[in-house]
Amino acid sequence: MTSAQPSPSKKISFTPTGRLSLSLLPFLWALWAFAVGAGCVAPIQSFAAEISVTAALQPPTTTAGEPVQLALTVNGSQEPRQPPELNIEGAQVQYLGPSIQTTLNNFELSVSITHRYLVSPTRIGEISIPPIPVQVKGQRYETQPIVLRVLDAGQDPSQQPGAMPFVECEIPRRQVYVGEAFPVEVRLLVPTEVRWRIERLPQFETDAFTKVPFQQPQQRQLVRDGREYDTLFFKTVLTAIKSGQVPLGPIHFNIQMASAQKKRNANRGPFGGIFDGFPFDNQPTVLQEKRLSLGEHPVQVAELPAEGKPESFRGAIGRFRFSANAAQSRIKMGEPLVMTLQIEGEGNFDRIEAPPIKNPDGWRIYPPEISFSKSDEFGFRGIKTFKIAAVPETNQSQSPVFEFAAFDPDSGSYQTQQSIPAGLTVDGAPKVEQQKVPQETAAALPDQSAKKQKEPAVEEAPQAAPVLLENAQPAVDRHEFWKSREWFWGIQAALGAGLLLGVFLRWNARRIAKAGPAPRLLREATRIQQQLLSSAERESFFRQAKRVLQLRAAAKNGLPADAMDLSDVSSALSLDEARASDLRWLFDADANLRFGGMKSHLEIKGEERERVRSLLEAICR
């Protein structure tokens, strides 16, 4: 009795995924034989999945005189190595040999062993194959009973109902919620004895759900009712957008298939069934297009319940884990504390917004910087991260608390999670306004600048009496030149001018001290405001405009310009409601550009420039 090797799956052709070349089979068999001989496959047993035993006919329908193959597969183990003996009434059984498969799927190893038998029917009709007992690791397992249908020689097995391909769909639940994202798997099953191919992805027709396009399908074999099917798995994620009982589907497949070929004979030769089938057979093959449709599946879509909905709920539906941490433990007053918020799990990540702060008092929160790292090709599983700048406006001893709320569709209830606050030190006490001198008190103070020192009295030097000489001419006083009258009055004039200059300088210093830094601040504000005319970069424009307002406000109330916040500027400039609204807009725009995660245009917009110019002109009047 000649032993023949099993025939691998050989008839499926899916253009986007391609097939394994037959030229690699000898190399793979040699590699597998080396691994078995070296004992490298023994550790794989520890990674085995749950053990299951199946039996399948290839094909389950044949004609008189045509044998079929029976595959006995043990998934999750490489036992038993010795094949069980089979006795089937109405057929002769011949053992062909074992084959061992190792599969790596998502970094998980799984093993299986398949014992193949050649079953040759001896009569027409239905031949029952009873459950086959198998001993695996001391446990007894049994296959499901299957039926082999034997037709007359003139009938075509491919025209039988059980030989036709079909489509099925799997969804997690028959009831979902509006806004919920859920995975859907569509399977196309074609009997392994049928040659077929599909050249384009199917289309999901629905207006009640938003959908992610189908990705490249996975392909493997499934056993249904004792028949092996080549199966394509198409996966997507749908999101319900309307409530009520809505249809899911239809979905259509266009495949090309040919009728099953006849087996040659039981004597396969030294290479077994590797060279059976297309393109090594001489059977004429004509592929015909066949349209398969999956009908509409009714799905009940419910609205989210209003009862128990927390205020922090922002539309998250799914199963999530929430965490938050602060980047710093010590900051200065007015500096931002960077908080990193992470949401991990599965659900509608595209609709998840930043969790709100639990107690916003004493904190100024800016728009977040958002990133998403997906764990699958659809974005149904992953981690969404929010980086938020939180600026303390008062002394704080711990980081802010954020609350994340989500609706769990499995339990039908809302779930809330809060971040754990961390210790925080804020350097710098809140600023205290300087005490201003009342105008009445200032008016009552003596005006020192109005006082003038009196010039010192200068006594006139006595004039010398003329001396009569004998020649009757007056005598001339011949003393040093600095003792002359002109020199004396010149010195007195210089001293007086110096005294007057000192009095003026002292009066001017008192005047400047009394006026304060207001003139200097106004001059600086005017200079920066003139530079705004040539500024085109958006962030620089808003920063300079805010600086102008801080300088003008500081010139009025005497506080340091760097310490002027929105309330101080608004109070000092005495703005009306419209201008106060423009002022808030300007401060928020500057803060968002400095601390926010949102990207902005590089150049200032025309309407923004005009709004700032109008605000500054109204203040400068």
For the stretch 516-567, pLDDT in tens is 677 888 888 888 888 887 788 888 888 888 888 888 888 887 778 777 788 8
Q: Which of 415, 428, 353, 419 is nearest to 384 (CA)?
A: 353
Q: What is the β-pairing status of strands 330-332 and 425-427?
A: parallel
The Cα 80–Cα 135 span in angstroms is 7
Q: Which domains does the chain have, with CATH numbers?
A: 41-155 (2.60.40.10), 163-302 (2.60.40), 313-427 (2.60.40), 518-620 (no CATH)
> pLDDT tens digits for 114-127?
888 989 888 888 88
Q: Which of 227, 225, 218, 163 is nearest to 187 (CA)?
A: 218
Per the CB < 8 A criterion, the answer to whether 112 and 73 are in contact is yes
The confidence band for 601, taking pLDDT boundaries of 50, 70 and 90, is low
Full DSSP string of 260-277: PPPP--S---TTTTTT-S
Q: What is the β-pairing status of strands 403-408 and 313-326?
A: parallel
Please determine, for residue 570, whether its predicted confidence score (pLDDT) is greater than 80. Answer: yes
The Cα 49–Cα 144 span in angstroms is 20
Provide the residue type at 608 as one letter.
E
> pLDDT tens digits for 38-70?
444 444 343 445 788 888 887 788 888 788 888
Q: Which of 333, 365, 331 is nearest to 563 (CA)?
A: 333
- Cβ partners under 8 Å of residue 481, min gap 6: 487
Q: What is the pLDDT of residue 322?
A: 96
Please determine, for residue 321, whether its predicted confidence score (pLDDT) is greater than 90. Answer: yes
Per the CB < 8 A criterion, the answer to whether 103 and 219 are in contact is no
The confidence band for 217, taking pLDDT boundaries of 50, 70 and 90, is confident
The Cα 381–Cα 489 span in angstroms is 100
Q: What is the pLDDT of residue 56?
A: 84
Please determine, for residue 452, whether its predicted confidence score (pLDDT) is greater than 70. Answer: no
Task: Please compute the mean of the pLDDT values over residues 468-487 and round it to a whole number.
Answer: 56
The confidence band for 292, taking pLDDT boundaries of 50, 70 and 90, is confident
- Cβ partners under 8 Å of residue 559, min gap 6: 433, 434, 553, 568, 572
**Beta-ladder partners of 318:** 347
The Cα 149–Cα 166 span in angstroms is 20
Q: What is the pLDDT of residue 302?
A: 92
The confidence band for 34, taking pLDDT boundaries of 50, 70 and 90, is low
Task: Please compute the mean of the pLDDT values over residues 295-319 and round it to a whole number.
Answer: 90
Q: What is the pLDDT of residue 435?
A: 43
Q: Which of 102-111, 270-279, 538-547, 592-601 has the highest mean pLDDT?
A: 538-547
Mean pLDDT of the chain: 76
Q: What is the pLDDT of residue 348?
A: 92
The confidence band for 430, taking pLDDT boundaries of 50, 70 and 90, is low
**Beta-ladder partners of 166:** 189
Q: What is the pLDDT of residue 206?
A: 78
Please determine, for residue 271, whether its predicted confidence score (pLDDT) is greater than 50. Answer: no
Q: What is the pLDDT of residue 135?
A: 86
> pLDDT tens digits for 160-207?
555 678 888 888 887 899 999 989 888 888 887 777 888 777 877 778
Please determine, for residue 158, whether its predicted confidence score (pLDDT) is greater than 70. Answer: no
> What is the percent of the chain with per-residue pLDDT over 70, rounded to a whole number?
74
| pLDDT higher at 218 or 104 | 218
Per the CB < 8 A criterion, the answer to whether 24 and 107 are in contact is no
Q: Which of 516, 509, 598 is nearest to 559 (CA)?
A: 516
Q: What is the pLDDT of residue 13?
A: 38
The Cα 334–Cα 331 span in angstroms is 8
Per the CB < 8 A criterion, the answer to whether 334 and 389 are in contact is no
- Cβ partners under 8 Å of residue 160, min gap 6: 61, 149, 151
Q: Which of 542, 619, 546 is nearest to 579 (CA)?
A: 619
Q: What is the pLDDT of residue 436?
A: 46
